[in-house]
A = this chain, B = another copy of it.
């Protein structure tokens, strides 16, 4: 007498992601997910061999949310930037998952499709082999670094203080020791992650579109 499965792998994935988004990484336990699904903890092991596999499911859920741009684009630079922006946005939408994404991104088939898309755009610059590899590494590292910096900075993992409080704290540093830190803390008041992403990306793209090293 085969019973219909009580849950599905997809439900597992969605519940786990929702749990992390709501309560942070530390809240993501096998037992908590099981409770959320109304089953016994051990039931999950019918769908997932490990806690590690559950984490992978969460990462893949975020990766799947990347909406690759459709184009067409005038210059390959615009395409690279659009792809980078799409990844950045998806990752940023799930700040608590970022540490998981950074360490497990590569073990996902969908991320390989996205990588190939980015590489195709970068290859339009004429790069091949090692140069293409380095261009690829630069773009992906910058995107992930920016996403991470946003999480680690004002937001932090469990900071009590607001972003404005953090900036205020920086600005009240001894002026003779930290003049430039105080300068950018002031600039941060009227800045936004979006504007910083574009500025950083444009700096790199400017280097990428230079003819030679």
Contacts and interface: CB of A to CB of B under 8 A. Distances in A.
Given A140-B145, A183-B129, A157 B203 contact: no
A199 interface: yes
Interface in A127-148: 128-138, 140-146, 148
A104 interface: yes
A116 B156 contact: no
Contacts of A180: 116, 119-120, 122-123, 132
B106 A196 contact: no
B104 A102 contact: no
A93 interface: no
Contacts of A27: none
Contacts of A186: 129
Contacts of A146: 137, 141, 145
Main secondary structure of the interface of A (DSSP, over half): helix
A107 interface: yes
B191 A130 contact: yes
A107 B159 CA distance: 10
A40 interface: no
B196 A207 contact: no
Nearest to A149: B141
A187 B132 contact: yes
B141 A145 contact: yes
Contacts of A131: 199
Nearest to A186: B129
A1 interface: no
B183 A128 contact: yes
26 contacts: A99-B102, A102-B148, A103-B156, A103-B157, A107-B156, A112-B181, A116-B177, A116-B180, A130-B190, A131-B199, A133-B184, A135-B203, A136-B184, A137-B200, A138-B142, A138-B199, A138-B200, A138-B203, A141-B146, A142-B142, A142-B204, A144-B149, A202-B207, A204-B204, A205-B207, A206-B210
